[in-house]
Structure 1
Amino acid sequence: MQIVLNGRIKLEGSVLALGMFDGVHIGHRVLLKRAKALALQQNVPMVVCTFASHPMMTIAPEKCPPMLSTFDERAELLREQGVDVLYAMPFDSETMDMLPEEYIGELIRRFHPMAVVCGYNHSFGKKGGGSPALLAAIGDALGYSTEIVPKIMLDGHDVSSTVVRGALRRGDVTHARALLARPYARGAKMESRDENGISIALLENGKQDIAFGLYRMLWKQKGHTYPAVLELLQDEKHGIMRLPSDLEISGEGIVQFVSRADGHACTKEQM
């Protein structure tokens, strides 16, 4: 997969998938699967056009939601979904003030799309004034097709990055895992070890925190995976990890949250 950070790109044709794709959850995967199928039919690359950071970081940083994935994690997850080109634009003042029609013009100039695929609630352009319907109307005039992916549901509930964040805030990592199609992960650093276990600090401060409590987890480090239990403390950034006693490991690794080990998650009313 080619990664382009707002650089020059020259494509004679493409299938373009639009969105933030934070977490690359199962709803995103439906969209990406459809875009890949169209790209294979047309024999052109599948391009994801996204932003390097969340637009709210520019519009109103204090209101920006925590992320489910770092940029590098997002890129790797998109690569696994068959994306050929990941084009990451900066969301700056120029982009923020771009009219929806101007934004579509930029997409056409850069990617020459034969088809554009987006979610039902995708918005773009100044004050989010652009809609899938506008994309489709301009496509009808300029010769690209538009596919709008409807709302995706799981067990009668919406699938969205917002819903995943809510599950993690409640400590419902099982529900989050179902929505993400993988365990939610955080980078972590071992700080000390004693008879109670290994003290760790969660890294990546911009990512969504998880409610404190006891969790079954996997510790991934240097190509190895170890089952463990993590007692996440009330600050939600430090914890005590218990691994098999004969393991001598140190440094940084990845915590994957598998399930709750203390039998409950907070309800919305308890938060």
Structure 2
Amino acid sequence: MQSIKLTYPITENDSHTVTEPQVMAIGEFDGLHLGHQEVIKRALTTAKHLRTPAAIMTFHPHPKEVLGQQKYTQLLTPVDQKRRMLERMGVDTMYLVSFNPDFMQLTPEQFVENVLIPMKVNTVIVGFDFNFGYRGAGTPDTLCELAQGRFAVEVVRPYQQGGVKVSSTLVREHLQKGEIEEANALLGRRYTVEGTVVNGDGRGRTIGFPTANINLAESFVIPALGVYAVQVTIDGEKFNAVMNVGKKPTFVADLERPTLEAHLFDFSRTIYGSAISVEFIAFLRPERKFSAVDELIAQIRRDADRAKSILTALENN
């Protein structure tokens, strides 16, 4: 899959990278949840029928971050992870558009004339709630009107699960409440973060539970503080683990950022510097402060036993 960065205005060199008509799905696609997957599958199906490439146009930074909503500095699927997922889905090209002040000011008409037309789109696929142009003035109906027969527009209906519309906002809300199973159901996959194993304070080893301390590779949405049953992948090999997401209140006061520390079961290798991905399976309990280290150790032991039980049952199903 090609990955092409675009900055407005689209130059001749940018548009020359497009050598043939293409089907293009447009959206932020943060999370690539089941609703997003429906839009992308429609693009892939249409592209196959028309025998043209299938492209995705997405944006960075997140438009809502640029508009001042700071929580969107953290993403469900940061750029690199999104790129790999789209490639696995079969997308031919991902266009990553810089969502800068110039791009923000585009009218719907300018977006069509100065962005879509130079990109040689023959079909545009969008979700039912797609907005574009300055202050989101453009809608799917606007897009159809502005196309003027130069390209087709396909609008994908809302994807619902249990009578509720699947959305990135809803996925975020579930994660922030520790509702992992609910978030995973909307994603159609396990919520996954990625990073590198780094040196920690070594305290876990001294109390009998050595941990892999994870420095996140990108700015991921962090689930609720607490303890989780997880599966981690290192060098292509998957391991069951229990992980704490938190600020270590038993030992540290006022830690600014939460840490991610995974205790891998039946594992003794040295993995500092290794790439690691973590799939969240189940929320076990909220993080809390213990009055004594022995009390913490006993609780970690119970957490590990419960995580092993959950993960073993998962593997046997």
Q: Which has the larger radius of gyration?
A: 2
Which of 225, 232, 242 in structure 1 is aligned with 2:245?
232
The answer as to whether partners of 2:78 and 2:218 remain within 8 angstroms in 1 is: no
Structure 2 letter corresponding to 1:259:
A
Corresponding residue for 2:119?
111
Partner Cα distance (1:76, 1:221) in 2? 17
**2:233 paired residue among 220, 244, 264:** 220
Q: CA deviation at 1:63?
A: 5.7
Matches within 5 A, 1:41-120: 41-60=49-68, 62=70, 64=72, 66-120=74-128
The reply on whether 1:133 has 2:146 as its aligned counterpart is no
Measure, in 2, the Cα distance between the counterparts of 1:17 and 1:246. Answer: 43
Change over 3 Å in CA distance of 1:202–1:257 after alignment to 2: farther
1:49–1:89 Cα contact (<8 Å) kept: yes
The partner residue of 1:156 within 155, 163, 175 is 163
- Once structures 1 and 2 are overlaid, which stretch shifts more, 41-50 or 229-238? 229-238
**How many residue pairs end up in the alignment?**
262
Is the 1:12–1:111 Cα contact (8 Å) retained in structure 2?
no
CA distance in 2, matches of 1:66, 1:239: 15
Give the secondary-structure state (helix, strand or coil) at the position aligned to 2:123: strand
Cα–Cα, structure 1 residues 10 and 245, in superposed 2: closer, same or farther, change >3 Å?
A: closer
Task: Please give the TM-score of this superposition, normalised by the length of structure 1.
Answer: 0.89
> What is the aligned partner in structure 1 of residue 183 from structure 2?
176
Deviation at 1:107, TM superposition (A): 3.3
Task: Show CA shifts across 1:21-64 (max 9, x none).
Answer: 11111111111111111111111111111113212333325363
Q: What does residue 12 of structure 1 align with?
A: 20
Structure 2 unpaired stretches of 5+: 7-13, 248-254, 287-317
TM-superposition CA deviations, 1:155-179 (whole Å, max 9, x none): 2222111111011001111111111
In structure 1, the gaps of 5 or more residues are: 264-271
| Structure 2 residue 45 is the aligned partner of structure 1 residue 22 | no
After superposition, the Cα gap between the structure-2 partners of 1:238 and 1:199, relative to the gap in structure 1 and judged at 3 Å, is: farther
- 8 Å contact 2:214–2:261 — kept in the other structure? no
Distance 2:111 2:189 in 1: 34
Q: What pairs with 1:182-193 in structure 2 (closer than 5 Å)?
A: 182-188=189-195, 189-190=197-198, 191=200, 192=202, 193=204
Offset at 1:248? 1.6
Whole-angstrom CA distance in 1 between matches of 2:43 and 2:280: 30
Counterpart Cα distance in 1 of 2:71 and 2:242? 33
* Distance change in 2, residues 1:242/1:130 (3 Å): same
Match of 2:291 in 1: none
Whichever residue aligns with residue 259 of structure 2, its letter is H
SS in 2 for 1:60: coil
C-alpha separation in 1, matches of 2:73 and 2:175:
13
Aligned-residue identity in percent: 26
Moved beyond 4 Å, runs of 4+ = none
User: Once the 2 structures are TM-superposed, how far is the Cα of residue 240 of structure 1 from its aligned partner?
Assistant: 4.1
Change (3 A) 1:258 1:41: same
Say if 2:52 is the partner of 1:31: no
Q: Distance in 2 between matches of 1:250 and 1:35?
A: 41
Q: Distance in 1 between matches of 2:19 and 2:167?
A: 31
